[in-house]
Amino acid sequence: MFDSEEQMIELLGECNLFRGMTSQEITRVLSGHLGRIKNYARDTLIAQAGDEVRFLHILLQGSVKGEMVDYAGKVIKIEDITPPRPLAPAFLFGNQNSYPVNITSAEDTLVLSIPREHFLAMLQESEKVLVNFINIVSNRGQFLSNKIKFLSFTTIKGKLAQYLLDLSAQTGSMRFTLPHSQTQLSELFGVARPSIGRAISELNRDGIFRTEGKKVEIMDLAGLTSYLK
């Protein structure tokens, strides 16, 4: 919990929803709008897939994970979320405004919840919040589009190839450091961890890339790209 309201406002200044706003502007736009701060212990379900999104949740402390569960019970991690960020902002409005995934706390977590009608009033009062929210929703659409493309690859090597090529494009280099462990990759890909290790070993052996811990160097770009077909 925060020692003072000023600490929370300072943190919210780092949130993309309030980008470009001073502490005074954030305080003013929040003034008069009902918001509740709630603690969630680790591994607590914050929102369940299919539930109506009635609040704008902003993650203040801790971390959460978004996961999909198929009819067979297999869990696919969509993403890890760290503060300060809104949770499921793209689903706050619309005809089918329900959570697409389960949102679970990955550790002890603090969340600010603002009722939808109060947030709507904030959008009407502040052009900066409105523009930031539109940008957030647009960026989420792009992220989900890329995620669908990634999940469309049926083979582990295809998923791994897309993952590494995306990292190479982001860093602008054929050498980079993996942001995820093999365990995290198995959750991200929705496959068993030994399968990830086996695929990495085989691609190493075939000279497609070279790994040393989390450090990766792509050796055969055309060979890696061939797994996307």
Q: Which residue has the tokens 């801790």?
A: 62
Please report, for the domain that includes residue 106, its CATH number: 2.60.120.10
Is residue 122 located within the same domain as residue 166?
no
pLDDT attached to residue 3: 67
Is residue 16 located within the same domain as residue 75?
yes
Domain edge (last residue) among 101, 119, 142: 142
Mean pLDDT of 8-34: 91
Closest-CA residue to 223 (of 207, 210, 211): 207
- Sign of the torsion formed by the C-alpha atoms of 138, 15, 53 and 150: positive
Q: To the nearest 10°, the Cα dihedral for 140, 69, 96, 121?
A: -50
Task: Evaluate whether residue 150 is within a structural domain.
Answer: no
Closest-CA residue to 196 (of 163, 153, 157): 157
Long-range contacts of 206-209, Cβ-Cβ distance < 8 Å, separation of 24 or more = 209/164
Is residue 162 located within the same domain as residue 221?
yes
pLDDT attached to residue 59: 96
Position 223 confidence tier, pLDDT thresholds 50, 70, 90: very high
CA 43 to chain centre: 17
Q: What is the DSSP string of 180-206?
A: S-HHHHHHHHTS-HHHHHHHHHHHHHT
Q: Which residue has the tokens 């977590």?
A: 109
Domain edge (last residue) among 120, 142, 164: 142
pLDDT attached to residue 115: 95
Domain edge (last residue) among 100, 117, 142: 142
Q: Report the share of the chain in percent with pLDDT over 90.
A: 63
The string of pLDDT tens digits covering residues 71-125 is 667 777 888 899 999 999 989 998 889 998 999 999 999 999 999 999 999 999 9
- On whether the CB atoms of residues 69 and 49 are closer than 8 A, the answer is yes
- DSSP three-state, residue 35: coil
- On whether the CB atoms of residues 26 and 84 are closer than 8 A, the answer is no
Is residue 31 located within the same domain as residue 120?
yes
As beta bridge partners, residue 58 has: 86, 112
Is residue 136 located within the same domain as residue 52?
yes
Task: Evaluate whether residue 169 is within a structural domain.
Answer: yes
Residue range(s) defining the domain that contains residue 92: 5-142
